[in-house]
Amino acid sequence: MHLDIVTPRGRLLSEEVDEVTAPGVLGEFGVLPGHIPFLTALKPGVLSFQKGGARTALAVGPGFVEVSTGDRVVVLCDQGAKIADIDVAAARKEQADLQHQLDHWTADDAGARADLEAKRAWAEARLAAAGESALTTTH
């Protein structure tokens, strides 16, 4: 089956794969060849695929997944990163800084808070894809 992952910056991946596992907003789901067509929302997290017995993981931001006839899976996401491109130290610092801001949030601006939560989710997705724990201790 063919997997395409596209971000606003361009195509992140285009490969023939045996299986796809993605972080849907209603839970993680898997797609094998012959799957029925569907469209679902994607949350930030780890998208993985298997090809010839090897599993590869990537970090993806929010977006959508379309499984269509002809064994085609198209992922449209706001952000995406291959593991080799993830700066773990920067993602960990970003996650900790954002968590600190959220822990000390006092404003009534729900939109600004949601933006911080989305940025934190993206940092946590990169850490999870890189095999790092996204949990930090803040004081």
> Do 64 and 113 sit in the same domain of this protein?
no
What is residue 107's predicted lDDT score, i.e. its pLDDT? 87
Which range marks the domain in which residue 114 is found?
87-129
pLDDT for position 133 = 52
- Pick from 1, 2, 5, 17: which is nearest to 55 by CA? 17
Given a cut of 90, is residue 77 above it in pLDDT? Answer: yes
Clarify whether residues 25 and 77 are in a common domain.
yes
Tens of pLDDT, residue by residue over 4-46, are: 999 999 999 999 999 999 999 999 999 999 999 999 999 999 9
The predicted model gives 38-64 an average pLDDT of 96
Are 73 and 93 members of one domain?
Answer: no
pLDDT at 139 over 70: no
Classify residue 122: in a domain, yes or no: yes
Identify whether residues 10 and 42 lie together within a single domain. Answer: yes
Within-domain flag for 138: no
pLDDT (0 to 100) of residue 134: 47
Whether 75 and 27 share a structural domain? yes
For 96-121, the pLDDT digits (tens) are 999 999 999 988 899 999 999 999 99
CATH number at residue 30: 2.60.15.10
Give me the chain's average pLDDT, please: 92
Whether 135 shows a pLDDT value over 60: the answer reads: no
Cα distances (angstroms) measured from residue 126 to each of 4, 59, 78, 82, 133: 19, 5, 13, 9, 10
